[in-house]
Homo-oligomer: A and B are copies of this chain.
Amino acid sequence: MADRLILTLAILGGTGKQGRGLAYRWAKAGYHVIVGSRTPKKAYQAAEQLNQRLDRQLVEGMGNEQAAEACDIAVLSVPYSFQQETLASVKHQLDGKVLIAVTNPLNRQDIYAVHMPPAGSAAQEAQELLGKGTKVLTAFQNVSHEHLQHDGPVACDVLVCGDDPGAKEQVLQLVAAAGLVGWDAGPLRNAVVVEGLSPILFGINKRYKIKASGIRITGEQAPG
């Protein structure tokens, strides 16, 4: 994988707003991007729209299984309620690859409170579902799609959790390529905090009338 000049990224569930925003930013940065969907026709349409916007042919549309097969690194950008079904459909294709989980395990009856699945977080659940052959990491859970669909800098940092240092370095590079500031936020078990920040930010949006709140890490690097 590291030998290829251009990585191929597949965004599973990539026809949603966040998936399309990530596809746009990565295609613009020169990556080969596949938008995946359960419904291939929706994926073709989303890819076509993105290519029109980019005025180039950088994005392909495929069914999720085919997209997972063709990619080097996959991004899971489906609503949490579809996570299990989607991962079951691409488990073989993702063996030996990296999966970036963007999923937020929201409770639709109580969306401003933190509710995690028994595995500890959606990302840890994804790791259990896929098995040890796939390296699961997390990123972008707190970034509103509204930040991704323009070209400017994004006022929300990205906390990256995962257990494999090499894969984490790749994900941090993808965060930077998308124009965001990423931070190594420790092991995959820390995903509970990053996923749990999303309902907190949704609550802040509502209570303080903010359109798309986010977080920044503050602090000054020591000289040297």
A residues at B contact (CB < 8 Å): 112-114, 116, 155-156, 159, 183-187, 189-190, 192-193, 196-197, 199-201, 203-205, 207-222, 224
Contact present for B215 and A217 (CB under 8 Å):
yes
Contact present for B204 and A196 (CB under 8 Å):
no
Contact present for B112 and A186 (CB under 8 Å):
yes
Contact present for A155 and B199 (CB under 8 Å):
no
Contact present for A113 and B187 (CB under 8 Å):
yes
Bound-state CA distance A108–B221 (Å) is 25
Contact present for A155 and B218 (CB under 8 Å):
yes
Contact present for B219 and A216 (CB under 8 Å):
no
Contact present for B204 and A184 (CB under 8 Å):
yes
* Contact of A210 (CB < 8 Å), options: B156, B201, B213, B222: B222
Determine the main DSSP class of A at the interface with B. Answer: mixed
Bound-state CA distance A112–B219 (Å) is 17
State the number of copies, please: 2
Most buried by B among A114, A185, A189, A221: A114
Contact present for A190 and B200 (CB under 8 Å):
yes
Contact present for B210 and A186 (CB under 8 Å):
no
What are some 25 contacts across the A-B interface (CB < 8 A)? A113-B189, A113-B190, A155-B219, A184-B203, A184-B207, A185-B203, A186-B199, A190-B200, A192-B193, A193-B193, A201-B217, A204-B219, A209-B221, A209-B224, A210-B222, A211-B220, A211-B222, A213-B218, A214-B217, A214-B218, A214-B219, A215-B215, A215-B216, A215-B217, A216-B216
Contact present for A190 and B184 (CB under 8 Å):
no
Contact present for A220 and B216 (CB under 8 Å):
no
